Amino acid sequence: MKRYCLALDLVDDPQMIKEYEAYHKTGRPEILKTIHDAGITVMEIYRTGNRMFMIMEVDDTFSFEAKNAADKADPRVQEWEQLMWKYQQALPWAKPGEKWVIMDKIFETVRK
C-alpha cells in the first residue's frame, strides 16, 4: 500500500469554509464510488485555517493518470469539481489548473 499527502487552500472566508465542510460531511455516494473504484482505500482531509491536507492510501491498481482520465470522462465528477472550485484556490506554486498538490515527505520516524 502506498500513501500520498496533498495540500490545497480554500478561499479564506469563514462562511465558504463552513459550506465546503458541509458538502464533505454529507458526501455524495457517486463521488465516493469513483474514489474507491480508482483504488483509493483511505482518504482523509484535515484543515487548519484555510489550508487543507489530504492523506490517501491506495492499492496497487491506483494511478493519478487513470484517476484523472476517469474523472474527466465522468460528468458527475466534473459537476462536483466545478462546484468545489468555488471554495478552493490553488496553491501559489501549483501548475495551471492543478488543485491538490502532492507534498514531499521530509521526515519520518518509526518506533520498533
pLDDT category, 50, cuts 50, 70, 90?
Answer: very high
CA torsion sign for 23, 39, 47, 71 is negative
* Burial profile 22-36: b = 16 or more Cβ within 10 angstroms, e = fewer: eeeeeeeeebeebbe
C-alpha cell at 36: 474507491
Domains observed in the chain: 2-102 (3.30.70.1090)
**What sign has the CA pseudo-torsion 24, 81, 63, 96?**
negative
Give the chain's end-to-end CA distance (angstroms, integer). 20
pTM metric for this prediction: 0.89
pLDDT at residue 97 in the model: 85
